[in-house]
Amino acid sequence: MDLGISGKTALVTGASRGIGLAIARNLAAEGVRVVGAARTVTPELEKVAAAAVSLDLSTREGARSVVEQALAAVGGIDFLVNNVGAGDAEDLSLAGFLDVDDEQWQSMFDLNLFSAVWTTKAALPSILERKGAIVNISSISAHVPGGSPVGYAEAKAALTQFGKRLSEELAPRGVRVNTVSPGVVTSPLWTDPDRFGGRVAAAFGVGHGDLLDGLPGRFGISSGRLTEPGEVADLVTFLLSERAASIHGADHVIDGGTLKAA
């Protein structure tokens, strides 16, 4: 299938690993010149990106800077994928509402909501000029908040609503905005024992491998397996393409059947 995006440009945040890296790879394979942004640039990202930028996207200055560097590197932005999110495992408390400090709330919203707000605001003039497209990576936690760190689901719910607002405003101006909400994905967030998955395993007193094996059952995943980053990337790539020209303001859940509501 010809997606008609060869020669376009894209800025992908949180692109060093997991879903973000898979998106960068997919777009590059389709002939898109990708600027990948992450706090730590990996060799894997450097292999596929036209430019790789290292900075902290949880700050307004970082978001503005990444857009400036992307524009300088590729001359303009057709596509924006706001993928950066989650948070540092060592800084996340898995405690309940009363035991989580204000700093966790702030960091969750800065990284999972405001990074997208700030980056979109800076990139939008170029995207409007090119009549491009935006995809925000949210989470099924926006629909089912139980089980995620305090502040994460709330920030992702706000991100999903942000996408709806943007779509209503920008669709008449030729820019499409959509949201993708993955379930549990085999990304380093879960598979790296030093990140969130490892923290969860320790909290439950089980081995990290046992935790991963039990996740499909724990989350009620109908497919019986976790979603692969490449599967999320395929959906994002399609949504950015002209093949999805009539898809506006939608929240696309990709979770192996975790959510049961119609």
Which tens digit of pLDDT belongs to each residue from 138-162?
999 999 877 778 899 999 999 999 9
pLDDT value, residue 198: 75
pLDDT value, residue 215: 84
- φ/ψ bin of 159: left (φ > 0), alpha (ψ from -120 to 50), beta (otherwise): alpha
What is the helix (H) or strand (E) element at residue 13, kind and residue range?
strand 9-13
pLDDT value, residue 212: 81
Catalytic residues: 152
**Residue 133: strand pairing partners:** 79, 176
pLDDT value, residue 217: 84
User: What is the rounded CA–CA span in Å between residue 65 and residue 118?
Assistant: 10
Cα three-residue angle 186-247-161, rounded to 5 degrees: 70
Please give the mean pLDDT across all residues of the chain. 92
pLDDT confidence tier of residue 192, bands split at 50, 70 and 90: confident
| Residue 89 clears pLDDT 60, i.e. is over it | no
Q: What share of the chain is helix, strand, coil (3-state, %, to 5)?
A: 50, 15, 35
Q: Hey, what CATH topology would domain 9-183+229-254 get? A: Rossmann fold (3.40.50)
pLDDT value, residue 118: 98
More confidently predicted of 70 and 205: 70
| Residue 87 clears pLDDT 80, i.e. is over it | no
Instruction: Sketch the domain layout of the chain as residue ranges.
Output: 9-183+229-254, 189-226
